Amino acid sequence: MSYPAAVSQALESELLCLADSNWVLGHWYINCILNGRELTDFTSMAGIAEEKLGHARALFRFMEEHYELPEYQLEFARPADQVHGMELLDAPPGNWADFVLTLYLADKALWRFADTLRTGGFAPVANLVTKFGEEAYFHQLCIDGWLKALDEGERGDLAAALRGRLPPVFRWFHSPAPDPLLEAGIRTEPLAHAKDRFAADVQDLIESVPEGSSASSTALAQGVDPTDWDAQRRRPQGSVLPPRLWESMTPTSEAAKLARRPLAVSIDDNIDLFGKVKKDDTEPQF
């Protein structure tokens, strides 16, 4: 199925928001594995990280095929300022409660966002997202379990963390009208509805935290300054992923590069992905 250029471009941006946020989230788990509380937490975090990176890579591969992009460039050759990762995941976790809370918010928000595409008319994306949802159910179960097991002191940390984490996650849903994906039937409901569903999902947690409701109302009331908002990346204009987080995702040290699985194509060409360079199948591959 082919869509008009504006729809296709909007879909590309939204898929990158989904893929990149899963990519960053996967690295949150990897970077924090040693902060797990029990041996089984380490295993769980490694398992969830693997699946999050799997979701990101499945979307990258799909986009390479669909948009005829050069292989592996989305993952290995983009600069940080072209990455569409959630702003929520920019600040590192301050403690265990903040870590669990951020995972909880990010996972729920990603699912509500993806769910608008699951029921849409573009089958390849709808099918991918359905599969992601089956796995994300268990990720959310694990996070629910961690939240339930927080002790009294950690619940205090949760209240403090909530104030900082809610505004960026609510902002992430901001969408300028009209939404080309909604008009094309790729998305079946506006993101404003997805945001309402997300707010309903997290309401119980918010109400269980001291002053959670007021933090939530304040965060919801904070709008987005359209002149300072990059609607394609769903982040403030010009913002980039923090350097240390970015380095952990795309290591630049020689040892890390050597440890990578060899790729079939060079990623050193600095190809302009968004200029839509076509793959040249006549070029020799090695």
Q: Which residues contact 285 (CB under 8 A, 6 or more apart)?
A: 264, 265
Among 5, 38, 221, 227, binds another protein (CB under 8 A): 38
Among 9, 30, 33, 47, binds another protein (CB under 8 A): 47
Task: Rule CB under 8 A: say whether 39 interacts with another protein.
Answer: yes
Which DSSP letter does residue 48 get?
A: H
- State the amino acid at position 172 in one-letter form: W
CB atoms closer than 10 angstroms to residue 114? 25
Contact in structure between 20 and 57 (CB atoms under 8 Å): no
Q: Which residues contact 246 (CB under 8 A, 6 or more apart)?
A: 80, 83, 240
CA separation for the pair 120, 181 (Å, rounded):
9
CB atoms closer than 10 angstroms to residue 47? 15
In Å, what is the CA distance from 258 to each residue of 24, 159, 235, 251, 254? Answer: 22, 43, 33, 10, 6
Task: Rule CB under 8 A: say whether 134 interacts with another protein.
Answer: no
Binding segment for another protein (CB under 8 A), chosen from 6-14, 138-146, 168-176, 182-190, is: 138-146
**Number of helical (H) and strand (E) elements in the chain, helices listed first:** 11, 2
Contact in structure between 166 and 98 (CB atoms under 8 Å): no
Between 153 and 210, whose beta carbon lies closer to another protein? Answer: 153
Among 19, 69, 142, 160, binds another protein (CB under 8 A): 142
Angle between helical axes of 5-32 and 96-118 (0-180°, round to 10): 150
CB of 238 to another protein, least distance (A): 38
Task: Rule CB under 8 A: say whether 204 interacts with another protein.
Answer: no
Task: Rule CB under 8 A: say whether 15 interacts with another protein.
Answer: no
Task: Rule CB under 8 A: say whether 226 interacts with another protein.
Answer: no
CB of 141 to another protein, least distance (A): 5
CB of 149 to another protein, least distance (A): 4
- State the amino acid at position 192 in one-letter form: A
Between 135 and 247, whose beta carbon lies closer to another protein? Answer: 135
Site residues for another protein, 67-96, by CB under 8 A, read: 96
Among 18, 32, 48, 194, binds another protein (CB under 8 A): 48
Task: Rule CB under 8 A: say whether 229 interacts with another protein.
Answer: no
Site residue total, another protein (CB under 8 A): 23
Between 102 and 175, whose beta carbon lies closer to another protein? Answer: 102
Between strands 235-236 and 229-230, the pairing is antiparallel
Between 5 and 34, whose beta carbon lies closer to another protein? Answer: 34
Q: In what helix (H) or strand (E) does residue 236 lie, and over which residues does it extend?
A: strand 235-236
Between 141 and 200, whose beta carbon lies closer to another protein? Answer: 141
CB of 101 to another protein, least distance (A): 16
Kindly report whether the peptide bond that precedes residue 168 is cis, defined as omega within 30 degrees of 0. Answer: no
Binding segment for another protein (CB under 8 A), chosen from 15-23, 77-85, 124-132, 142-150, is: 142-150
By CB under 8 A, name the binding residues for another protein.
Answer: 35-40, 43-44, 47-48, 96, 138-139, 141-142, 144-146, 148-149, 151, 153-154
